[in-house]
Amino acid sequence: MRLIGGHDYYDGAGMGVDTSVVFVRDPARHLADLPLRTDHPFRVPERSVYGDGAERTELIPTLILIGGERIPALEERVTEAWVMSSRFHYELAEAEAAILRARARHPSRWGGFLRRRSFLEEVRAHFAGRLTQEETGWLISNHVTVLSTWLPPHWREKTVPAQVNHARLTELELFRKLDPATAHMRIASFLSGVLPFSRPTVELPDRDRIRKAGFDLRSSFRKPKQG
């Protein structure tokens, strides 16, 4: 595979994979620089916020699609003394542990037992989800090989923003879930075996098919090789 635009953790794995596949990516330098799209069918649970101001924890369900395969995650953003750090969890057990940490860190500011319990159930359903036919169709019709939902720190809208065909998988810590060689092969298979070609297929008449296969139109026997 040949990749054009941007550099990422996954670039080094492209060697040895089908070099006829060209993947053009958005060359933005950072995740925050990528354009956000909301014209997509993908949905994730709303984030859950614990605490406020200088001491807070945000738990943000996240969805990554790579080569037509769904990878759920939970982003844990922790702010201490106004300094924010972020970590992505790609296993349900890790996501559940992050929820418990948030409860313990902010025992009196978690927003109510019913919401807390509901969020845990929503996260479990998020990790158990599968791509729908509508979602797969959208990926194919829009030629999307990589998609990730990502909330900017001050996002206030209800719609879930997503970024597509980008080179910032490292910032999403996807290497903790998916090794680069597998990621490249998934993209290559999706591009060459699923996504439609940019040029329409030309149908050959039956006579041309027979002639192209090397058969004589009168005798129906294969013609001898020439030269």
Q: How far apart are CA 67 and CA 187, in angstroms?
A: 4
Query: Dihedrals φ, ψ of 189, to 5°?
Result: -65, -40
Q: What is the pTM of this model?
A: 0.74
Contact criterion met (CB below 8 Å) for 50 and 102: yes
Mean pLDDT score, 13-41: 70
pLDDT per residue as tens digits for the range 59-90:
999 999 998 999 999 999 999 888 989 999 99
Mean pLDDT score, 153-182: 84
Q: How far apart are CA 203 and CA 216, in angstroms?
A: 20
Residue found by looking up tokens 């933005």 in the block = 28
Q: Quick one: pLDDT at residue 167?
A: 77
Q: How far apart are CA 58 and CA 52, in angstroms?
A: 10
Q: How far apart are CA 12 and CA 31, in angstroms?
A: 20
The answer to whether residue 138 is domain-embedded is yes
Give the residue numbers spanning the domain of 103.
2-193
Better-scored residue on pLDDT, 181 or 145:
145
The answer to whether residue 17 is domain-embedded is yes
pLDDT per residue as tens digits for the range 100-140:
999 888 886 555 444 555 899 999 999 999 999 999 999 99
The answer to whether residue 225 is domain-embedded is no
Q: Quick one: pLDDT at residue 73?
A: 97
Lowest mean pLDDT, pick from 2-16, 117-131, 159-173, 183-197:
2-16
Q: How far apart are CA 75 and CA 88, in angstroms?
A: 4
Arithmetic mean of pLDDT over the chain: 78
55 pLDDT band, cuts 50/70/90, is confident
The answer to whether residue 36 is domain-embedded is yes
Alpha helices per DSSP H over 27-112: 92-105
The answer to whether residue 180 is domain-embedded is yes
The answer to whether residue 84 is domain-embedded is yes
Strand partners, 48: 59
Q: Which amino acid is at 113?
A: F
The answer to whether residue 215 is domain-embedded is no
Q: How far apart are CA 53 and CA 4, in angstroms?
A: 41
Contact criterion met (CB below 8 Å) for 62 and 73: yes
Better-scored residue on pLDDT, 71 or 165:
71
Q: Which two tokens stand for residue 102?
A: 């948030």
Q: How far apart are CA 17 and CA 1, in angstroms?
A: 5
Percent residues over pLDDT 90 in the chain: 32
Distances (CA, A) of 171 to 69, 142, 162, 208, 216: 19, 24, 14, 52, 60
Q: How many domains does the chain have?
A: 1
SS (HEC) of 42-65:
CCCCCCEEEEECCEEEEEEEEEEE
The answer to whether residue 130 is domain-embedded is yes
